[in-house]
Amino acid sequence: MPETQTRTPSFESRIPEGDNRPRQVCNDCGFVAYENPKVVVGAVVTSGDLILLCRRAINPRKGFWTLPAGFMELNESAEAGAMREAFEEANAKIAIDQLLGAYTIPRLSQVQLIYRAKLVDPAISAGPESLEVGLFTWDQIPWDELAFPSVHWALTQFNETRHLAQFPAFSNPPGETGDH
């Protein structure tokens, strides 16, 4: 019996028929391998007047403070992803309230969905991607040590809505394109 051989597909960058930009197209079957933005999910998590922050144990921005957030997984809702990330980074069990903001970061090809959430269990501790975690009052937030501009945006927009039961979700603040 002859040995079965599998052929590795050969892709090239070209503009597929009916499209307007180069894509990776299989030379054998014409399959288009689209590259799409990555979705980041996370939450501004509170316990009373305290806000949960995580000091990053990984790059980018190792040692800086951030919200519990990360890349969404396949077959996962955005809310479930935000809950998973809070648990992975801070061993935090949270309840999602509502979407706080949807931010676009074109230079990184990211869309960030950040929720407003409550801490369900007061027990928190650093997960493998965090050096430490903490609950901060608004005045204790280490503003100069925050990892990313979108963390600033989310915290500021959270503060504007902290006493509102409902509000429309935010986007990038005026003038903040996410390109720098």
Q: Which of 72, 32, 75, 69 is CA-nearest to residue 53?
A: 69
Query: Which of the four pLDDT bands, split at 50, 70 and 90, describes residue 180?
Result: low
Which is more confident, 2 or 134?
Answer: 134
28-37, 93-102, 140-149, 160-169: least confident range: 28-37
- Distance CA(169)–CA(57), nearest Å, equals 30
Query: Which of the four pLDDT bands, split at 50, 70 and 90, describes residue 179?
Result: confident
What total number of domains does the chain contain?
1
Q: Which of 82, 85, 80, 93 is CA-nearest to residue 124?
A: 93
According to the model, what pLDDT value does residue 177 have?
Answer: 85
HEC readout, 18-62: CCCCCEEEECCCCCEECCCCEEEEEEEEEECCEEEEEEECCCCCC
Question: How many residues in the chain?
Answer: 180
Q: Which of 147, 148, 154, 151 is CA-nearest to residue 65?
A: 147
Query: Which of the four pLDDT bands, split at 50, 70 and 90, describes residue 1?
Result: low
Structural domain contains residue 31: no
Which is more confident, 89 or 5?
Answer: 89
Structural domain contains residue 53: yes
pTM over 0.85: yes
Give residue 59's domain range. Answer: 38-161
Structural domain contains residue 152: yes
Kindly report the CATH number assigned to the domain that includes residue 45: 3.90.79.10
Structural domain contains residue 8: no
According to the model, what pLDDT value does residue 4 have?
Answer: 65
**What's the helix, strand, coil split of the chain in %, to 5?**
20, 35, 45
Tally of CB atoms within 10 A around 1: 3
Please check the confidence at residue 116 and state whether its pLDDT lies above 90.
Answer: yes
- Distance CA(98)–CA(165), nearest Å, equals 9
